[in-house]
């Protein structure tokens, strides 16, 4: 009976997630870790100061982004870069109800990339900007 009750609760959570966000949750992130990508200025010749994460030094560095193209290792601020990518950070010791980056997209920003700095925390970044709080509004 306990197993059947647990299954019913789990089913209701999944169905509610599908209703609220419009797509089923997945169990693993659907993208590679964006912080492992190389610095990529893009093909344009604009001047957009940005930050990229360098995994060999576990730190973020400023670079000149051409304002188009490039890849997901591209942040408007050093703080956002470090929050999304830095390996050595204090993560809360809590059990996750839903692991980070389990939804396939950020509905309001379909091209956003999900970063999971801690097991329970998702950070959605679009065009170098944190759009996490605007994904589901």
Q: Tens of pLDDT along 6-62?
A: 333 333 333 333 323 333 333 343 446 788 899 999 999 999 999 999 988 889 999
pLDDT of residue 15: 33
**What are the distances in angstroms from CA 20 to CA 13, 49, 73, 86?**
10, 37, 29, 31
Contacts of 131 (CB under 8 A, 6+ apart): 106, 108, 109, 112, 124, 125
Per the CB < 8 A criterion, the answer to whether 103 and 92 are in contact is: no
Q: Report the C-alpha dihedral over residues 76, 125, 90, 88, rounded to 10 degrees.
A: -70
What's residue 43's pLDDT?
Answer: 94
pTM: 0.60
Which superfamily does 25-134 belong to?
Pancreatic trypsin inhibitor Kunitz domain (4.10.410.10)
Domain ranges for the chain: 25-134
Contact 31, 112 (CB under 8 A): no
CA distance 102 to 121: 10
* 50, β-bridge pairs: 63
């Amino acid at each position: 009976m306990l197993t059947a009750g647990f299954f019913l609760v789990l089913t209701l959570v999944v169905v509610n997630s599908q209703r609220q966000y419009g797509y089923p949750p997945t169990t693993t992130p659907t993208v590679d870790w964006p912080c492992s990508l190389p610095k990529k200025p893009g093909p344009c010749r604009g001047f957009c100061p940005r930050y990229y994460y360098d995994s060999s030094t576990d730190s973020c560095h400023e670079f000149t982004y051409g304002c188009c193209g490039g890849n997901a290792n591209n942040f408007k601020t050093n703080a956002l870069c470090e929050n999304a990518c830095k390996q050595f950070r204090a993560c809360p010791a809590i059990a996750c109800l839903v692991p980070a980056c389990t939804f396939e997209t950020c509905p309001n920003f379909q091209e956003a990339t999900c970063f999971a700095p801690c097991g329970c925390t998702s950070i959605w970044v679009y065009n170098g900007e944190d759009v996490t709080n605007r994904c589901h509004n």
